Amino acid sequence: MNITLELNGAKVTHDVEPRETLADFLRHQLGLTGTHLGCEHGVCGACTVRVDGEIVRSCLMLAVQMHGASVETIEGLSDSGEVADLQAAFRERNALQCGFCTPGMLIAAQDLLKQNSEPDRERIRQHLSGNYCRCTGYQAIIDAVENTARARMGRQS
Ligand code: FES
Ligand code: FES
């Protein structure tokens, strides 16, 4: 099937198999390997992307569903600078080790900070509860998101 979508701000037209997931389409057809695949059944959050402004699990969506949609991946958010401060905070706080969960974490954290500019630690924990990290123990990730929220509010972290 032939689909046309907006991908990280650019129009893309591509043939896809009807059963191809959005995650496989991004990674294998388009080479956007920043979208990671962990569980492939909607649990770990590694495959998180934005579709029409909402975060979704790309392993649970089909590429054909993206016809006419706007899809944003970590490559797009990174290239535009939208999450540059979050990325810097993750580096500063050692909020990543292997980095497998990091693209999904950053997209989910940015989603929270767009909805709530001053989330408390419990709210951050709750919003990121669908994103698994096998390395960090989560505390440093919560710190990095909290510090970014404070910095965006013009406060010292
Ligand atoms: S790979 Fe999609 S939620 Fe785990
Ligand atoms: S940094 Fe390794 S899974 Fe999170």
Express each pLDDT in 64-84 by its tens digit: 999 999 999 999 999 999 999
Please name the residues in contact with 155: beta carbons below 8 A apart, sequence gap of 6 or more.
Answer: none
Place of tokens 């900070």: 113
The answer, yes or no, to whether any atom of ligand 2 lies below 6 A from the CB of 131, is: no
Task: Note the pLDDT tens digit of each residue in 27-44.
Answer: 999 999 999 999 999 999
> Which one of the ligands is nearest to 27 CA?
1
> Which one of the ligands is nearest to 132 CA?
2
Q: Where are the beta strands (DSSP E) in the chain?
A: 2-7, 10-15, 48-51, 54-57, 70-72
Task: Note the pLDDT tens digit of each residue in 115-138.
Answer: 999 999 999 999 999 999 999 999
What is the predicted pLDDT for the residue at 156?
52
| DSSP letter (8 states) at residue 132 | -
